[in-house]
Amino acid sequence: MKTDLSPTGRALRALELLQAQPGITAAQLGAQLGVTERAAHRYVAILREAGIPVESTRGPYGGYRVGRGIRLPPLVFSAAEALGLVMAVLDGSHAAADADDPVGAALGKIIRALPENVGRPAATMRGHASAAPDRRAVRPGTETTSALVAAVAAQQRVRIGYRSESGRQWAENVDPWAVVVRHGRWYLLCHSHRAAAVRAYRIDRIRSVDAGDEQFRSPDDVDYVDLLEQHLGAGREFETTVVFDVPRDEASRYVGPLMGRLEPIDDGERCVLTGSTSNPSMYAGEWLAAIPIPFHVVGGPELRDAVTDVAERMTRALSTGSVPESDAFSRVLAGRLSRQRGRSS
């Protein structure tokens, strides 16, 4: 593979490869640098002369790796990498343009460490690009998240304190399987010993994490993102059962994982949604009310009451009544009528 890197650029690239792929062979290193195996040996020698402890192991499983005690060189980014980093950070953390924000402060340090020709466009983008915050995104505390990730890595049982959306609080022992980020929200996917079942908990609602002494083994060959999708609608206080008068594939266009699990019934002509919620009013007024297909709430007294409340409120909105008359109302109405006439002329 041909490259246009200078000798210095190839040496730095060689260091990146050694750090990213411990045990890389000279042949592999040369192939990724676009040089011969002999030249790859020379670049390793250059790194050693610069004081970087590159170790080598002979044999069929040997190769190069960077030893301990390395003093890292300055950050080396291309302009495209630097701009991509800024765009990704702004997309994931909209406050990153603020120097007082922890993520913004870290991003500023990275930009200042870059060479002028690379850092200037990155700083310009950071200073002048605006990001609209995702109202549903919630970032949990770094200490809580770090403690959970450490428990996942160590396969260590923890005791968590949790506060649900409705305000109910409890503590329980869980085996933390994975931390999953989904649409701006962070979830702990775990085995709950209280429920004796898989649960997905919002990390921003976890009030405490206490490490225990017991170890566990998480399931092998599991797609944790898919498993999270399956369990997002389970485990909340109020059960919900809704039947849709259309096949499952059609209903799935409007039903998200948070609402529960869809399954076909009546030889596939209809489907049933089984789930749970901590907020029946939101489930009825925001989720079910937005679905433009026929459905029947057949389970969950709290959800049935919430649907009744929504229906009564909509009915009252259609009832005849006096129109408020005020100078302000008249001006707003006259302005709207004027704009409508202007668009139609």
pLDDT in tens, 85-126: 888 887 777 677 777 777 888 888 888 877 778 888 888 888
Task: Say which range, 4-13, 153-162, 179-188, has the weakest mean pLDDT.
Answer: 4-13
The confidence score (pLDDT) of residue 256 equals: 85
> Tokens for 255?
């039903």
The residue ranking higher by pLDDT, 2 or 337, is 337
Q: What is the mean pLDDT of residues 294-307?
A: 95
**302 lies in a domain?**
yes
- For residue 174, which of 157, 155, 161, 188 has the smallest C-alpha distance? 157
With a CB cutoff of 8 Å and minimum separation 6, the contacts of 20 are none
Q: How many folded domains does the chain comprise?
A: 4
Identify whether residues 265 and 192 lie together within a single domain: no
pLDDT over 60 (residue 344): no
Mean pLDDT is highest, among 4-13, 18-27, 151-160, 312-321, for: 151-160
Give pLDDT tens digits for 33-71: 889 999 989 989 888 887 788 888 877 667 888 876 655
Question: Is the model more confident about 314 or about 345?
Answer: 314
Q: Are residues 243 and 295 in the same domain?
A: yes
Q: What is the mean pLDDT of residues 135-154?
A: 86
Is 306 part of any domain? yes
Mean pLDDT of the chain: 84
What dihedral do alpha carbons 142, 175, 277, 279 form, nearest 10°? -30
In a domain, 342, yes or no: no
Label the pairing between strands 63-66 and 54-57. antiparallel
> Within this chain, do residues 289 and 308 fall inside the same structural domain, yes or no?
yes
| CB contact set of 128 (below 8 Å; sequence gap of 6+) | none
Q: What is the CATH number of the domain that holds 263?
A: 3.30.70
- Residue 253 belongs to a domain: yes
* Helices vs strands, H then E, count in the chain: 12, 11
Q: In the prediction, which pLDDT does 332 show?
A: 62
SS3 66: strand
Which pLDDT belongs to residue 189? Answer: 94
Are both 15 and 83 inside the same structural domain? Answer: no
For residue 277, the enclosing domain spans 238-318
